[in-house]
Amino acid sequence: MIVAGVDEAGRGPLIGPLIIAGVSFKENVLNSLKNLGVKDSKLLTQKKREELYKKIIELAENYKIFIVQPKEIDHFVQSQIFNLNKLEAFYTVKILKIIKPDKAYIDCPTHNTKRYQEYLSSLLGKEFLKHTKIIAENKADYRYIACSAASILAKVTREREISKLKKRYGDFGSGYLTDEKTLKFLKKYYKQYAEIFRKSWVTYQEQLVKQKNILEFTNND
């Protein structure tokens, strides 16, 4: 049996891409992953994640990683018929059709796991589901080793992408809204480096409104 996991990294940040990764293994390899120390990427140091990344790929039957840029994220979030959950579902389906596992554990981005699994099933189609069982659960990256492995691939890929962005644009911190360095970077470079920001995020929209108000005030002075 081929068992897979699908997980994401970078769902919430203001800056940088969303990474969605899937990886599959022969069932008899799963214990080897545990012995290596594979677990939810959030429970590991960056150094350990990097070490495990190479070993996971060596043990994998197949894997696929998608890097979704802010422009595409904004397109889905601002759409009247799509949203961030559907974006994840879209790429999850692409991954599953590439790696073709017998069973797949998916870290569900919403508490309504039943509805999300039904949506995935509708995208995958009945013919695909004859050969692949999908299980979408909250905290699947913590509960299932294949999903833990996917979380490591996603997290390491995002960290590498963020490192590239910092070399090009400067240090913007973590990219998350809870980071003061990120917020200061937004205020200074929201227009100059617009391509790296998720413009559909409320915080970015608020910055545009503030700037508009300042300009109107100055012009009317």
Q: How is the chain split among helix, strand and coil, in percent rounded to 5?
A: 60, 15, 25
Closest residue by Cα to residue 105 from 139, 138, 130, 140: 140
Hey, what CATH class is 170-220 in?
Answer: mainly alpha
Closest residue by Cα to residue 103 from 134, 139, 76, 127: 134
User: Is 149 within 8 Å of 51 (Cβ atoms)?
Assistant: no
Distance of CA 44 to the CA centre of its chain: 17
Q: What is the CATH number of domain 2-167?
A: 3.30.420.10
Q: The tokens of 189 are what?
A: 């470079």
Buried b (16+ CB within 10 A) or exposed e, 34-44: eebebbbbeeb
Q: What is the pTM of this model?
A: 0.93
Domain limits, the chain: 2-167, 170-220
Buried b (16+ CB within 10 A) or exposed e, 87-112: bbbbbbbebbeebebebbbbbbbbee
CB neighbour list of residue 90: distance below 8 Å, 6 or more residues apart: 123
Q: Residue-wise pLDDT tens for the chain (221 aa)?
A: 999 999 999 999 999 999 999 999 999 999 999 999 999 999 999 999 999 999 999 999 999 999 999 999 999 999 888 899 999 999 999 999 999 999 999 999 999 999 999 999 999 999 999 999 999 999 999 999 999 999 999 999 999 999 999 999 999 999 999 999 999 999 999 999 999 999 999 999 998 887 655 444 344 45
Residue 210 pLDDT: 75
What whole-number distance in Å separates Cα of residue 202 and Cα of residue 207?
Answer: 9
What whole-number distance in Å separates Cα of residue 17 and Cα of residue 30?
Answer: 29
User: Is 22 within 8 Å of 95 (Cβ atoms)?
Assistant: yes
Buried b (16+ CB within 10 A) or exposed e, 118-144: ebbeebbeeeeeeebebbbbeebbeeb
Distance of CA 169 to the CA centre of its chain: 21
